Amino acid sequence: MSLFRRLPADVRKSLNTERGERVLTFTQGADGPVVATNLALYLTGGTRVPYEEIDRAWWDEEGLHVLTTGAARHFERISEPRMLPETVRERVNATIVVNKHVSLPGRGGVRLVARRRPGGEVLGWTLVFDEGLDPDDPGLRAQAEQALEGVRRSMGV
């Protein structure tokens, strides 16, 4: 019997999956099921979070914390995570094409991250400045953009 068929019928019906999307693992959260597919993490309440949009996901004794690249925060109270932590970590890491820290002249540095949808093209780059640096500083942004251009040329991405 497939994993998808072991999901409760109402959960199966509530998942709005894409063509070719398949369930990898799931667990029961305090407020409902949390499901990991090959393309996204489905949180309680029907929230679908594609892996390429997850900036950070971490676990503690309370449950799962998810921070998206758009700064949305999600929390799921989970007592028995099963294979969910490993699956989410592997799927998020699989979306990262480039993850490179570059020093900026006299100012610390910036992490340059290129992400892609699983099996898809590179979606874009994220600039993550070292703590204490102002990402809105035009001079700093210009230096970071120049570093990004150098990394893109050297890596062909």
**Read out DSSP for 13-81?**
HH--PPTT--EEEEEEETTEEEEEESSEEEPGGG-EEEGGGEEEEEE-SSEEEEEETT--EEEEE-S--
Residues 27 and 73 in one domain: yes
pTM beyond 0.85: the answer is no
- Same domain for 103 and 65, yes or no, is no
Q: Answer yes or no: is pLDDT of 6 > 80.
A: no
pLDDT tens digits, 109-124: 999 999 998 878 877 8
* Residue that terminates a domain, selected from 70, 93, 116: 93
Residue whose structure tokens are 């109270």:
77
Q: 16 and 68 share a domain?
A: yes
Q: Are 71 and 134 members of one domain?
A: no
Give the per-residue pLDDT at 12: 76
Q: Of 93, 111, 139, which residue constitutes the final position of a domain?
A: 93
Look at residue 1 and tell me whether its pLDDT is greater than 50: no
User: Which of these, 125, 124, 144, lies nearest to 133 by C-alpha position?
Assistant: 144
Query: Are 31 and 87 part of one and the same domain?
Result: yes
- Residue in the block written with tokens 């900036």: 55
Same domain, 66 and 86: yes
Question: What pLDDT sits at residue 41?
Answer: 97
Domain that holds residue 114: 96-155
The residue out of 93, 118, 138 marking a domain boundary is: 93
* Alpha carbons 142 and 148: distance in angstroms, whole number: 10
The residue type found at 50 is: P
pLDDT of residue 3: 53
89 and 124 in a single domain? The answer is no
Q: pLDDT of 8-64, one tens digit each?
A: 777 877 888 888 898 899 999 999 899 999 999 999 988 999 999 998 899 999 999
Kindly state whether residues 80 and 13 are assigned to the same domain: yes
Rounded CA-CA distance 157/151 in Å is 8
Question: Do 109 and 32 belong together in one domain?
Answer: no
